[in-house]
Structure 1
Amino acid sequence: MNHNPSAGTSSKVTLAGLLITLGIVYGDVGTSPLYTVRAILNGASVINESFVLGAISCVFWTLTLQTTVKYIIITLRADNKGEGGILSLFALLKMRKSWVYLIAIIGGCALLADGIITPAITVTSAIEGLRLFNPDIPVVTVVLIILSVLFAIQQFGTNFLGKSFGPMMFFWFSMLGVLGISQIIYFPEVLKAINPYYAIKLLAEYPNGFVLLGAVFLCTTGAEALYSDLGHCGISNIRVSWIFVKSCLLLNYFGQGAWVITHANQITENVNPFYATMPQWFVMPGVFIATAAAIIASQALISGSYTIISEAISLNFFPKVRIQYPTTIKGQMYIPLINTVLYLGCCFVVLYFRESSGMEAAYGLSITIAMLMTSILLMFYLRSRVSPYLQALIGITFFTIELSFLAANMTKFSKGGWISVMIAGVFVLIMYIWHKGRRIKNSFITFVKIADYLPVIEAISKDQTIPKFATNLVYITHANYTTEIENKILYSILRKQPKRADVYWLLHVDIVDAPHTTEYEVHPLIPGTLIRIDLRLGFKVPTKVNLYFHKIIRDLMADQQVDMVSHYPSLNAYNVLSDFRYIVIDRVPNKDYDFENFQQFIMNMYFRIRKIGLSDVKNLGLDATNVRVESVPLLANSEIFERDAHADNTAPNTRKIKPNELKFIKVVK
């Protein structure tokens, strides 16, 4: 797939676009001041000026190198028709090693796990701030109610959410900046933390300084979601708004650092420097504003999860599920199944940990894995786009940083990090089995040149000794080219049960990027006997293929290109329209074919996982009462005509495909 940036990626910067970006993209990274400095202090043995300057310096350079350089400057350029995310990056790779897809799957699933943990920890940590006024507040109950409302409103689309949340996040970031400045003026020396010397000194000299990187990493956890949300807002709006966002974040981190240095004797386990920087009169409204921002933070990961699943479906890593587009922008979608899974997962995390301090152990590990996987794919992407020296510099820099973060976060594994790994592992298993199962299944499918079979199709249509199956027989074809046909369709017509019809139709449906496209092309392969229709539908157009097909038939009748009056004399006399039947072909394992043990396990699981997805009948909106789903064995012989060594060349030159043979005319994608 060639790199082809869409209009969405290079969209002009507008005030509305910037507000939507603030509301959708930056919730996760924008709420990190709520817990990052607190987590760093909780892991400290001695708190002094040198320690604080080193910690804030680590935060500054993490945001600069990881978020700004890696994602804002470099990674956002790797868009796939306006869409971002690790699976989009994988799709851009022209040369794919046999193992690279595993990197993409692991990274994508780690981000899905983060999409479950982030809403739980951000909302819980914010609600816990209310304990400053009411220690007995039922935090878990309040959090579950908020999450229920948040996931319920997803169906209205991220455009609606962005317009609602954008102004709120603008106020949030402005508040962060003002609070930071209010503390920096009392201890401006904290700005010395910009010097990386203090970060290096902390890591080299402070006891367990390296382990503290796990807490420092919390400041950049939203960076991967930022890339996944590229299709929702566009690269220009993200880059411009990041200047404002990063400035406010750094001011707040430096402000918290200044407060800690000047109030070191007041630091206890229950003190959150974020709230401590607020004037006493502002604490109550500050807690409510933080709660609202935490709710918005969850949106970035939810939207990113939808994008991950959408791209996984297009790459055949996940079964087809129903995707809804509440707005006219393709990047803004709603996936009911995933929304339910995320909601149940968030509720499980909240009920299991009950306190945000427990969730911190699970938080960050999965996203560190996702970032590392993105870096690996990024190196493949940059191979033909930058010089080898620049590629090596980028690789060494980010692998060193991310492997360090991974090692630091692995110390949390037994304390709760295993939860995020378990969640990601479940998604990895599903995607791996689906991808591997499709490859095994598709190894038995071929396309053949349709021209070789036109004579026999025309002959069977006129063979009165074969009972008529239908006047018009419609097959759903996945062949992208009009010159090809799936071997399984030929098997169905000619061998499984010879099916005589007056007219055979090959219907190909293609979903395109333009939202409201409704186009079709007609290809009479055998005039009056075999007709192919290519139907192109925009992603916003409901896939009611049955309805559209009959509309096309009426158009063809009006143009006198086809005669749809029944061919039965009794019905023809009264101008009764002829009958139609649809056939959708499903390949199933042969009972007499033994897979290897591993392949048998994969195929058994594949057919179980397939049940969570949409069938072709539902996906295409076909009338189930007029559709025959026909099972064809995986090992249906690709040899339609049997020939011996002395046969002439009037029949197509076909051959039997061995089950383990990997050379095909074309593999179904």
Structure 2
Amino acid sequence: MTCNGSSHKSSLKQLSFTGLLVTIGIVFGDIGTSPLYVMKAIVGVNLDFDADYITGAISCIIWTLTLQTTIKYVWLALRADNKGEGGILALFSLLRHLPKKWLYIVAAVGAAALIADGVITPAITVTSAIEGLRIITPTVPVTPVVLAIIISIFIVQQAGTEKIGNYFGPFMLAWFLMLGILGLMNLSAYPAILKAFNPWYAVKLLLYSPGWFLILGAVFLCTTGAEALYSDLGHCGKKNISVSWIFVKATLILNYLGQGAWLITNIGHDTLQINPFYAIMPSGFTLIGVIMSTGAAIIASQALLSGSFTIFSEAINLGFWPRLKIAYPSIEKGRLYIPSVNWALLAGCLLTVAIFRDSGRMEAAYGLAITITILMTTILLTFWLRKHGISKILCGIFIVVFATVEGIFFIANLFKFTHGGWYSLFIAAIIAAIMIIWRNSTLKRAKFIELRPIHDYTGLISAIKSDNEIPKFSSNLVYLSRSSNKSMIESKLIYSIINKQPKRADHYWFIHIDHVDDPDALEYETSIIVPQTIYYVTLRIGFRVEPQVSVYLRQIVEDLVNSGNLDLISSYPSLRDKGIPGDFRFIILHRIFSQSSNCPKSTSRLMRMHDIIRHIGISDRKAFGLDTSIVTSETVPLIINTSPGRRITGITH
């Protein structure tokens, strides 16, 4: 995390041509590839469509993009930023201190559904793009090509995508220009398609079409990338996103209108044998169109992968997920790579392709999960509006309008459940369950950590330091403390120093990590409990910052030495004469739930599930950046007694 990376990221948030170009390449990949499959899905709902049906469907698309994407996300949600960062978990971090404790469930469910959507997005976009090759070569083996491309996308993540990322903006600019031009070229075939701008045609379609819910399920696919747009706020800034959305929306609508005009002028022909997205292309342009579609699908997948890494990083630091190994293949701030998430998403994408085979079947699985995310975002936005002084009446209007619209979309997509919607909901349910269980169990465990006043033990610890009969354990002994109060310390830490094995050291360090709402915060505060002996350090780390404790402690020690508050030179005479600093040893305590606990069965089950889920993550040593440090692990029992247990009775004779 260098200053150059930070300033580069900050410059991209300023309204400029470069910022707009980068925004087009990063933010709109998901929503920008929706023309590949939306009209195909709409036609699939009604094989005997007429002009009114197509006009009404496109009217639904136009007003869905306007209401959901433009008004809710671009105009409103982008204002709900956390120090410039967006997304459902960043939004939750602004609300987590409200009395409404159940909001964490809303955030967990929304984030889990977004990840589930991310499993399907690369599969459906790449498959839809490659299926265009069948127009040129009907016998082309689509599935092997799709699998090869998807595997390549995930493999390249570990090396970083900084270099190829420089080409995302120009490529996606060309992509959107292509969408708009192709749509415009086909408008002359049926100019009356412009009536779709009149919302009455959308209302009429929904009122008089018996399968309106299926139509809405297909229409909703046009706005599935709106949540990703909000999540990418931190990369590009609201100004660049808002301005570039005007251009992106115009090209998308033009393309949908062009596809609609082609469909209406070809009623009676075998329109289902060809994707209308490719049908509007001149015959000699199809191969170029497939190449462009494949490139756009890859970029959309890349953007979604980066978003997934960010979501898990935030989830870890907000207490929703066990700690995972995080790598930083790029020097640019905010770019990260989580190997376990990458390979899990790859497995999910490959399974998606294997189960559904073609994009038509994937459409049934796509969209249902993301409606849940959008609904959850609406709930959180309502509380954010209220927190910022918006009246209850306006907040009520907001949630009624958007929850009604999104509720209708959710019900419409529920009809996809048996046709594939179960797949995304199953993935979302597993992820949400892990998030909720982990957060609840972690908070429950924290309640039963016994704290004691540290000043009750300063005299004894100082005496241990001076007791030459006790072998020196380390010059500097460092504990990670869960106590946020510098005057209190866990009883188990005291037990480790005094009772388990008396540990003599020159300096005792207690480090507490406080994950704060500011996503990029990185600061510390030091309290000297006993001069030259006991130090309590609070690290305030943002939820998007990697906790490299050993690195930060080294910097803190340098500050204390420079200020004269710490003598770091070793107390061993042979080393002190040479000015060699003392060594450091970290002690990590693992609290294992004790079966001797006297608590309700529900609490016992929760603790056991916590012990199972923690194996998903990595060790505390790796999680806190202590890989190159000397670390000792000690296991201590976590005893939860919520009711008095029986006491053994002695027998007297």
Is TM more than 0.5 here? yes
Distance 1:570 1:30 in 2: 68
Distance 1:635 1:534 in 2: 27
Q: In the alignment, what sits opposite 2:231?
A: 228
Q: Name the amino acid aligned to 1:197.
A: W
Q: In the alignment, what sits opposite 1:63?
A: 65
Distance 2:294 2:198 in 1: 33
2:106 matches 1:103 = yes
2:37 matches 1:38 = no
Within the candidate set 24, 28, 31, 1:29 is matched to: 31
Within the candidate set 303, 307, 311, 2:310 is matched to: 307
Q: In the alignment, what sits opposite 1:653?
A: none
Within the candidate set 123, 135, 151, 1:132 is matched to: 135
Higher deviation after alignment, 92-101 or 421-430: 92-101
Deviations 1:90-121, CA, capped at 9 Å, x for gaps: 11114242322111111110000000101001
Contact 2:561 2:567 in 1 (8 A): yes
Distance 1:69 1:364 in 2: 20
Q: In the alignment, what sits opposite 1:525?
A: 529
Distance 1:10 1:283 in 2: 35
User: How much has 1:163 moved relative to structure 2?
Assistant: 1.9
2:620 matches 1:616 = yes
Q: Name the amino acid aligned to 2:634.
A: E
Equivalent runs, 1:231-250 vs 2, <5 Å:
231-250=234-253
Higher deviation after alignment, 228-237 or 154-163: 154-163
Q: In the alignment, what sits opposite 2:420?
A: 416
Deviations 1:436-487, CA, capped at 9 Å, x for gaps: 2202211112555434432333234345665654444222334455444334
Within the candidate set 56, 60, 71, 1:54 is matched to: 56
Equivalent runs, 1:297-446 vs 2, <5 Å:
297-385=300-388, 386-446=390-450
Q: In the alignment, what sits opposite 2:3?
A: none
Q: Name the amino acid aligned to 2:495.
A: Y
- Seq. identity, %: 50
Structure 2: unaligned runs, 5 residues or longer: 1-6, 645-653
Q: Name the amino acid aligned to 1:400.
A: T
Q: In the alignment, what sits opposite 1:273?
A: 276
| Residues 609 and 8 of structure 1: CA distance in aligned 2, closer, same or farther (over 3 Å) | farther
Distance 2:509 2:248 in 1: 56
2:193 matches 1:190 = yes
Q: 1:212 aligns to what SS in structure 2? A: helix
Q: In the alignment, what sits opposite 1:3?
A: none
Higher deviation after alignment, 59-68 or 491-500: 491-500
Contact 2:191 2:261 in 1 (8 A): yes
Within the candidate set 627, 633, 640, 2:631 is matched to: 627
Q: Name the amino acid aligned to 1:270.
A: Q
Q: In the alignment, what sits opposite 1:115?
A: 118
User: How much has 1:168 moved relative to structure 2?
Assistant: 0.9
Q: In the alignment, what sits opposite 2:588?
A: 584
Q: In the alignment, what sits opposite 1:177?
A: 180
Higher deviation after alignment, 316-325 or 51-60: 316-325
Deviations 1:206-250, CA, capped at 9 Å, x for gaps: 231232110111111111111112222221111111000000001
TM value normalised by structure 2? 0.89
Q: In the alignment, what sits opposite 2:458?
A: 454
Distance 1:555 1:100 in 2: 40
| Residues 394 and 288 of structure 1: CA distance in aligned 2, closer, same or farther (over 3 Å) | same
Contact 1:158 1:332 in 2 (8 A): no
Q: 1:633 aligns to what SS in structure 2? A: strand
Contact 1:9 1:79 in 2 (8 A): no
Please provide the CA RMSD for this pair. 3.1
Distance 1:74 1:9 in 2: 23
Equivalent runs, 1:5-24 vs 2, <5 Å:
11-24=13-26
| Residues 307 and 582 of structure 1: CA distance in aligned 2, closer, same or farther (over 3 Å) | closer
| Residues 16 and 96 of structure 1: CA distance in aligned 2, closer, same or farther (over 3 Å) | farther
Higher deviation after alignment, 566-575 or 179-188: 566-575
Distance 2:512 2:340 in 1: 27
Q: In the alignment, what sits opposite 2:88?
A: 86
Q: Name the amino acid aligned to 1:13.
A: L
Q: Name the amino acid aligned to 1:214.
A: G
Deviations 1:500-544, CA, capped at 9 Å, x for gaps: 434323345678979897x87664321232234566889999866
Higher deviation after alignment, 439-448 or 323-332: 323-332
Q: Name the amino acid aligned to 1:67.
A: T
Deviations 1:284-328, CA, capped at 9 Å, x for gaps: 211221121122221232122122111111210011112233445
Equivalent runs, 1:435-514 vs 2, <5 Å:
435-463=439-467, 468-480=472-484, 482-508=486-512
Contact 1:56 1:193 in 2 (8 A): yes
User: How much has 1:568 moved relative to structure 2?
Assistant: 5.8
| Residues 314 and 577 of structure 1: CA distance in aligned 2, closer, same or farther (over 3 Å) | closer
Q: Name the amino acid aligned to 1:86.
A: I
| Residues 553 and 274 of structure 1: CA distance in aligned 2, closer, same or farther (over 3 Å) | closer
User: How much has 1:566 moved relative to structure 2?
Assistant: 5.3
Q: 1:506 aligns to what SS in structure 2? A: strand
Deviations 1:170-195, CA, capped at 9 Å, x for gaps: 01111111111111123221111111
Q: In the alignment, what sits opposite 1:72?
A: 74
User: How much has 1:283 moved relative to structure 2?
Assistant: 1.7
Deviations 1:563-602, CA, capped at 9 Å, x for gaps: 5565567877888765543211221112311443232222
Distance 2:398 2:367 in 1: 22
| Residues 130 and 569 of structure 1: CA distance in aligned 2, closer, same or farther (over 3 Å) | closer
Distance 2:519 2:379 in 1: 32
Distance 1:13 1:500 in 2: 58
Distance 1:31 1:569 in 2: 69
Equivalent runs, 1:283-298 vs 2, <5 Å:
283-298=286-301
Contact 2:115 2:308 in 1 (8 A): yes
Higher deviation after alignment, 377-386 or 568-577: 568-577
Q: How many residues are paired up? A: 634
Higher deviation after alignment, 160-169 or 177-186: 160-169
Q: 1:269 aligns to what SS in structure 2? A: helix
| Residues 559 and 349 of structure 1: CA distance in aligned 2, closer, same or farther (over 3 Å) | same
| Residues 575 and 209 of structure 1: CA distance in aligned 2, closer, same or farther (over 3 Å) | closer
TM value normalised by structure 1? 0.87
Deviations 1:359-418, CA, capped at 9 Å, x for gaps: 111011111111111111111111233222322222121111111111111111111111
Q: 2:335 aligns to what SS in structure 1? A: coil
Higher deviation after alignment, 124-133 or 454-463: 454-463
Higher deviation after alignment, 310-319 or 183-192: 183-192
Q: In the alignment, what sits opposite 2:647?
A: none
Deviations 1:37-76, CA, capped at 9 Å, x for gaps: 1111111153212111111111111111011111111111
| Residues 520 and 606 of structure 1: CA distance in aligned 2, closer, same or farther (over 3 Å) | closer
Contact 1:127 1:291 in 2 (8 A): yes
Q: Name the amino acid aligned to 1:618.
A: K
Distance 1:61 1:660 in 2: 58
Distance 1:401 1:627 in 2: 54
User: How much has 1:488 moved relative to structure 2?
Assistant: 3.0
Distance 1:221 1:135 in 2: 30
Distance 2:100 2:525 in 1: 37
| Residues 344 and 82 of structure 1: CA distance in aligned 2, closer, same or farther (over 3 Å) | same
Q: 1:83 aligns to what SS in structure 2? A: coil
Higher deviation after alignment, 165-174 or 610-619: 610-619
